[in-house]
Amino acid sequence: MKFTYYGHSCFAVEIKGKRILFDPFITYNELAKSVDVNSIVADYIFVSHGHDDHVADLVNLARRTKATVVGSYELVTWAGKQGIEKTHPMNTGGKWPFEFGTVKCVVAHHSSGMPDGSYGGNPLGFIFITEAGNFYYSGDTALTFDMELVPRFAQLDFAVLPIGDNFTMGIEDAIIASEFIECKRIIGVHYDTFGYIKIDKEKAQQAFAEAGLELLLPDINSSIEL
Ligand code: NI
Ligand code: MN
């Protein structure tokens, strides 16, 4: 599966010829200046929650690409009011068979207000179960025992977890999360973008390695094969 990192918690995967983008926040990310937001293509945009650092580029990208926006009922209702025509509402615990595979929504312990102050519904994590592989994107979340359910739903090939601390899990908690979800290959996101979430990348990778885990930190605007 091709995985492209656009900085912060924004990434894309390609499955069965469909391009799936997550949590678009590029234009206002000082670290993502190399990314041309106007050249990004997407068939689907999955949004974990309503905070600015996950939706800042959502409306423009969805309008231009005509991608289907998937997120909580409240979030996609908000997106609809911004003129986005193709949306798919979901909520915690629900799953749906999309054309590229099945997605199950799971608990994320966080908050979710939209940029205009309206309620964003529950923050979500997503488990993707596909012929090209299975992965979990936790969204912004604390470490939670709910993650122990993840292996019951899917054997993961990789997981995308926040590691920046302050707003979400930090490195220590993400290592425990990796044990809960029974996954040894982790892609770290939600770090370095702002002052509160700057990390020492080498130390982070060392801590994961000492726990028998692999922490991948792809360069912004680069792709890796998973
Ligand atoms: Ni957030
Ligand atoms: Mn965030």
What pLDDT digit, counting tens, does each position of 115-165 carry? 999 999 999 999 999 999 999 999 999 999 999 999 999 999 999 999 999
CB 95 within 8 A of CB 110: no
CATH number of residue 21's parent domain: 3.60.15.10
> How many domains would you assign to the chain?
1
Ligand 1 geometric centre to CA of 140 (Å): 5
pLDDT of residue 28: 97
Tell me which ligand sits closest to the C-alpha of residue 120. Answer: 1
What pLDDT digit, counting tens, does each position of 195-208 carry? 999 999 999 999 99
pLDDT of residue 164: 98
Nearest C-alpha neighbor of 126 from the set 116, 165, 172, 101: 101
Average pLDDT over residues 171-191: 98
Q: Which two tokens stand for residue 211?
A: 């726990």
Tell me which ligand sits closest to the C-alpha of residue 190. Answer: 2
The rounded distance, in Å, linking the Cα atoms of 29 and 99 is: 31
Residue-number span of the structural domain to which 164 is assigned: 2-225
pLDDT of residue 30: 97
Ligand 1 geometric centre to CA of 121 (Å): 12
Amino acid identity of 111?
A: S
Ligand 2 geometric centre to CA of 75 (Å): 15
> Helix, strand, coil % (nearest 5) of the chain?
25, 30, 45
